[in-house]
Structure 1
Amino acid sequence: MGEYFIHTDQMVVGYDGKPLIKDVEIKMKRGEILTLIGPNGAGKSTILKSMTRQLKLVAGTVYMNQEMMSKMSGKEVAKKLAVVMTERIQPELMTCEDIVATGRYPYTGTLGILSAEDWKKVHRAMEMVHAMDFKDRDFTAISDGQRQRILLARAICQEPEVIVLDEPTSFLDIRHKLELLSILKRMVLENQTAVLMSLHELDLAQKISDKVICVHGDRIEKYGPPEEIFTSEYIHHLYGITTGSYNAAFGCLEMGAPEGKPEVFVIGGNGSGIPTYRRLQRAGIPFAAGVLHENDVDYQVAKDLAAEVIVEQPFEEISEEAYQKAYASMKKCREVICCMDAFGTFNKKNQLLREEAGRMKKLKIN
């Protein structure tokens, strides 16, 4: 186990001595981001709290840098590991700057007096999360998103070798989600920090993680790189998705296709049809799409949202069979929307479909 900075051995987590998840085996190297995903209530937070000694282990051991964490002092652990949890702390009469400064306490003497260098690190951490504008405000009087940034700044100025975060992007807007994850990635690359966190945003987990742990039922169901975890079939299984779908190619969720026979036929390709597919879906209008090559980005969305998709093999000219199938579908629709104004050799027959739609007086140029 020498290559791992943190690892668990036969860890069992739960509450009041009652097991919730058994045989939790986690192995983390420095400079690695490991993300826990899974349904609400699966036990992701319980695992993180147990590993950081906020909850007592039911069984097993957690090692950090080859030492048993249970035998390390609080100060020793605090110099190596920083924690950002979702629970709202309610400190009295403390400014945001005061909260961040507590990240330096493991390095101070008995009186807890910060040096000039400590204060530089406090302010540098606050600048990283864009929090200097409200450093003098009462911590209890700021928004949830601002609190999350302050708690991250506290963890940063602690200069940890491992940072553990429970749903760190909760309460953050898009800009600050991306900034937070960029900061974590920078810490990983520049300082070889190990990052262990839980995330609900699957698209972000897929993009930032080196390894992913899937918590399902009373066990770790799957553990591996994002490429192995984020498939449509497995995510549907993990979360029990029955309405809508998960699009593995885009790393996003799609709403369900409108019910009924196609009323509109959409001629698209190369991404041109996606806005129209989603607009029709929002309006509850069932539609058909074609002819789309299986490697076309439009196909990735159309297969989830369209009532019917006429498909052609990748890198092949649209066949007469596919054309006739699309033409028959188009004839049954009350309207045809063409999202393209240029056609190449492989999709020349889509141009013929547009011309036929014009003759039927069904054509609408998007």
Structure 2
Amino acid sequence: MTLRLDALSVGYRRHTVLTGLSAVAGRGELTILLGPNGVGKSTMIRALAGLQPPLSGGMSLDGADLTRLSTTERARRIAVVLTERVSPGLLTGRELVSFGRHPHTGFTGALGQRDRDVVAWALDVVDATHLADRDLSEVSDGERQRLLTARALAQEPDLLLLDEPSAFLDAPSRVALMGLLRRLATERDLAIVVSTHEVELALRLADTAWLIDAHGTLHTGTPQQLVSDGTVSAVFDTEQLRFDPVSGTFEPRERLPA
């Protein structure tokens, strides 16, 4: 299964944010979407998720035109985790994850045994079984992010999209989440596209990188390719910091005196 973008343009009715986007994200791979703040990464994710229509061009999943999928078919094939904080109300972890089964349960929304089994599997695979009976108001941001990822997995999608999933997480939780996404892509044979500001971490873990520069041009390749050809440095270097391709980290251009 492959997500393919062909000369895709995204934005709003009177404002094009990104244009000429052509890229591929494969099954079993973690694809990272990088770029400066405000460049249009979230708009791109929302278009891929069907939350806003593309302006022109094509986007397909395993050859199927995403714009022609019914709402139900899209919900079965594509799951998305957005960056907005969730107001959980009085839900438990299991109840939140169970929402992921709604595309499969029909009009009544009643969960059958297989649905309950999938929910249990999704909780287990993100190491959140111990949160199943906890009220969401009592869990940490990192734990809630795992539950939201489990909800998306409970949809049994072909494609998982995440927009800044580590936005509210501490450093250990960010590392754990990216490692989890890499493992899920491989073990579950999923195509995963994650927009992130965790440049160093993402470049170490991803199979493929989509990098949008300040001019809106999309560069694609393996992280190693985009590092070695200078693309990462061209996009992210500042007057104070530079990306060192050897260490894979950002370093000060010069040390300030003590």
- Residue aligning to 1:263: none
CA–CA distance in 2 between the matches of 1:217 and 1:258? 27
- Kindly, what percent of the aligned residue pairs are identical? 31
Give the number of equivalent residue pairs.
Answer: 258
Partner residue, 1:75 = 72
The question of 1:51 aligning with 2:45 is answered: no
Give the corresponding residue for 1:248. Answer: 245
Which residue number corresponds to residue 179 of structure 1? 176
Q: CA deviation at 1:205?
A: 1.6
Note the C-alpha offset of 1:42. 0.9
Alignment counterpart, residue 101 of structure 2, candidates 101, 104, 119: 104
**Aligned residue runs from structure 1 range 6-85, under 5 A:** 6-85=3-82
Which stretch of structure 1 is more off in the superposition, 24-33 or 149-158?
24-33
- Contact in 2 for aligned 1:211/1:223 (Cα 8 Å): yes
Do the aligned partners of residues 227 and 182 (structure 1) sit closer, same or farther apart at CA in structure 2, a change above 3 Å counting? same
Asked if 1 retains the 8 angstrom alpha-carbon contact of 2:214 and 2:235, the reply is: no
Q: 1-side partners of 2:228 and 2:196: how far apart?
A: 17
2:254 is aligned to 257
Tell me if structure 2 keeps the 8 A contact 1:33–1:195: yes
Give the counterpart of 1:126 among 118, 123, 128: 123
* Displacement after TM superposition at 1:220 (Å): 2.5
Secondary structure of 2:80's aligned partner: strand
Structure 1: 4+ residue segments shifted above 4 A: none
Q: Distance in 2 between matches of 1:8 and 1:103?
A: 26
- One-letter code aligned to 2:91: M
Q: Which residue of 2 aligns with 1:302?
A: none
Structure 2 SS opposite 1:25:
strand
Which stretch shifts more, 199-208 or 47-56?
Answer: 199-208
**Aligned positions of 1:353-364 closer than 5 A:** none
Report if the CA contact (8 A) 1:17-1:58 is conserved: no
Q: Which amino acid aligns with 1:22?
A: T
Matches within 5 A, 1:1-366: 5-231=2-228, 233-259=230-256, 284-285=257-258
Shift of 1:256: 4.3
Letter in 2 for 1:122: V
Q: Deviations over 1:77-117 (max 9, x none)?
A: 12211111101232433222211111111111211111223
RMSD: 2.2
**Alpha-carbon spacing, 1:221–1:162, altered in 2? closer, same or farther (3 Å):** closer
Where do 5+ consecutive residues of structure 1 fail to align? 260-283, 286-366
Separation in 1 of the partners of 2:240 and 2:69?
Answer: 48
- 1:213-253 superposed Cα distances (whole Å, 9 cap, x missing partner): 11123423421111121249433320241103222222212
Are the counterparts in 2 of residues 95 and 139 from structure 1 also a CA contact under 8 Å? yes
Amino acid of the structure 1 residue aligned with 2:6: D
Whose relative contact order is higher, 1 or 2, with alpha carbons under 8 Å and at least 6 apart?
2
Distance 1:187 1:239, change over 3 A: same
2-side partners of 1:63 and 1:22: how far apart?
Answer: 16
Q: Does the CA-based 8 Å contact 2:3-2:61 persist in structure 1?
A: yes
The code of the aligned residue for 1:203 comes to E
Secondary structure class of the residue paired with 1:20: strand
Distance 1:227 1:122, change over 3 A: same
Question: Unaligned regions of 5+ residues in structure 2, if any?
Answer: none
